[in-house]
Amino acid sequence: MIFHLVGARPNFIKLAPLVREMDKNKISQKIIHSGQHFDKMMSEVFFKELGIRKPDFNLGIHSGSHAYQVGQTMIKLNEVLVKSRPEYLVVYGDVNATLAGTLVAVKLGIPIIHVEAGLRSFDMGMPEEINRIVADRFAHTLFTPSVDANENLLAEGISEDKIHLVGNIMIDMLQLSLNQITGDKKEFSEYGLVTLHRPSNVDDRLTLTSIIDALRDISHHIPLIFPMHPRTKINLKKWRISLNSSKIKITDPVGYFDFVSLQRHAKFVITDSGGVQEESTFMQIPCLILRENTERPITVERGTGTLLGYDYGLLETKVEEILSDQYKMGSVPELWDGNTSKRIVKILVDGLGQ
């Protein structure tokens, strides 16, 4: 029996294709949701749209400090794992559930499978970097999305035989979905799409104010659609920062199909999301990244991404480049082909009996 542990929006999108492929191969599995993301549009909508069965366990931890989230997840997960004793625990990406799951499983002697291993921003100020490093350090099997991830793991002394380059599992879901998504009518015929949720951008009042000012400037060139993450919404409200503009349409977070459709038809994306960097590279949509570094350098070196840091002048310049068709073209990295979950399951099936 294999258990999956997920907690936050990007996890659900990585979970869906793997559960589907494991079902096809009759591997018995159960899903544990830590409950970190709990709003309908941050959680349930993905289970429904992506056809993931209801989690077998929901630990219901909700929001709080990192210590609270990790601590609560550890305590509640420990109870589940002690009772059920799965053969493996699969953890995804770099969220707090990934860290908590790793610590609990390694102490119980349950082998950990880390999906999306090896990514590094080399920025220890980023909570996810710590989560990734711990998960990779203790994982029994590490599935990586790109060559740079293998290099990072080898440089940290992780033994090569544990590492499997399988490609990007987010692209599995994206490929499956692109066939189902139609070009719905959008509010604007041409627009840029915005998502923001990194603490480094939205938890600092001055930074958030500057970003909002920059978005207002961009909206004079082209309207923007901004499905807003709850973290960002809470902070804008707290600091009474107003984004009133007829050229910026703010919505609640949207479901996956709607988001992919918005992304596919956008002139560009302005984002600090890891997953959106990857999806835009795959769909060849220009991606302006409001971060100083990225754990996904391939989206900048090979894909359509540009790291802008806090240079909002450059943001405007890049938007102008895009609108005048001067922006770079990208290419899709190897193994971002929709078959990552198949490769993972093949490795699991071949190795499980040993």
Q: Footprint of ligand UDP on this chain (CB under 6 A)?
A: 9-10, 13, 170, 195, 197, 227, 253-254, 256, 259-260, 273-276, 279
- Quick one: which of 43, 29, 38, 10 has its CA closest to 90? 29
CA angle 56, 60, 62 (to 5 degrees): 140
Beta carbon of residue 233, minimum distance to ligand UD1 (angstroms, whole number): 8
Q: Which of 33, 114, 164, 197 is catalytic?
A: 197
Instruction: Decide: is 39 part of the binding site for ligand UD1 (CB under 6 A).
Output: yes
Characterize the bridge pairing of strands 29-33 and 2-6. parallel
Q: Around Cβ 2, how many Cβ atoms within 10 Å? A: 18
Among ligand UDP, ligand UD1, none, the one that 63 touches (CB under a kind-dependent 5 to 8 A) is ligand UD1
- Determine the 3-state secondary structure of 68 from DSSP: helix
Among ligand UDP, ligand UD1, none, the one that 253 touches (CB under a kind-dependent 5 to 8 A) is ligand UDP
Asked if 114 contacts 141 with a C-beta cutoff of 8 angstroms, the reply is yes
Beta carbon of residue 229, minimum distance to ligand UD1 (angstroms, whole number): 6
Question: Hey, what are 209's tokens?
Answer: 């104010």
Instruction: Decide: is 128 part of the binding site for ligand UD1 (CB under 6 A).
Output: yes
- Pick from 14, 37, 120, 342: which binds ligand UD1 (CB under 6 A)? 37
Nearer to ligand UD1, 229 or 265 (CB): 229
The pattern of x and - marking residues 51 through 70 that bind ligand UD1 according to CB under 6 A reads ------------x-------
Q: Find where tokens 């979905």 sit.
A: 177
Beta carbon of residue 10, minimum distance to ligand UD1 (angstroms, whole number): 5
How far CA 259 is from CA of 41, 211, 246, in Å, comes to 11, 21, 21
Beta carbon of residue 227, minimum distance to ligand UDP (angstroms, whole number): 4
CA–CA dist 114, 146 (Å, integer): 14
- Determine the 3-state secondary structure of 288 from DSSP: strand
- Determine the 3-state secondary structure of 2 from DSSP: strand
Nearer to ligand UD1, 12 or 57 (CB): 12
Among ligand UDP, ligand UD1, none, the one that 17 touches (CB under a kind-dependent 5 to 8 A) is none
Among ligand UD1, ligand UDP, none, the one that 195 touches (CB under a kind-dependent 5 to 8 A) is ligand UDP
Query: Annotated catalytic, 66?
Result: no
Among ligand UDP, ligand UD1, none, the one that 276 touches (CB under a kind-dependent 5 to 8 A) is ligand UDP
Contacts for 163 with CB less than 8 Å, ≥ 6 apart: 117, 118, 142, 144, 150, 153, 154
Applying CB under 6 A, the span of 24-32, 38-46, 301-309, 327-335 interacting with ligand UD1 comes to 38-46
Residues 184 to 243: which contact ligand UD1 by CB under 6 A? Answer: 197, 229-231, 234
Nearer to ligand UD1, 68 or 328 (CB): 68
Which amino acid type is present at position 167? G
Nearer to ligand UDP, 267 or 296 (CB): 296
What phi, psi does 143 have (nearest 5°)?
-100, 120
Contacts for 264 with CB less than 8 Å, ≥ 6 apart: 178, 181, 183, 283, 285
Beta carbon of residue 207, minimum distance to ligand UDP (angstroms, whole number): 17
Q: Around Cβ 159, how many Cβ atoms within 10 Å? A: 9
Instruction: Decide: is 8 part of the binding site for ligand UD1 (CB under 6 A).
Output: yes
342 DSSP assignment: H
Burial class of residue 93, CB neighbours in 10 A (0-12, 13-18, 19+): buried
- Quick one: which of 294, 295, 259 has its CA closest to 280? 259
Residues 89 to 108: which contact ligand UD1 by CB under 6 A? Answer: 94-96
How far CA 201 is from CA of 29, 196, 212, in Å, comes to 37, 7, 10
Among ligand UD1, ligand UDP, none, the one that 279 touches (CB under a kind-dependent 5 to 8 A) is ligand UDP
Tell me which residues are annotated as active site: 197
Would you tell me which residues interact with ligand UD1 (CB under 6 A)? 8-10, 36-39, 42, 63, 94-96, 127-128, 197, 229-231, 234
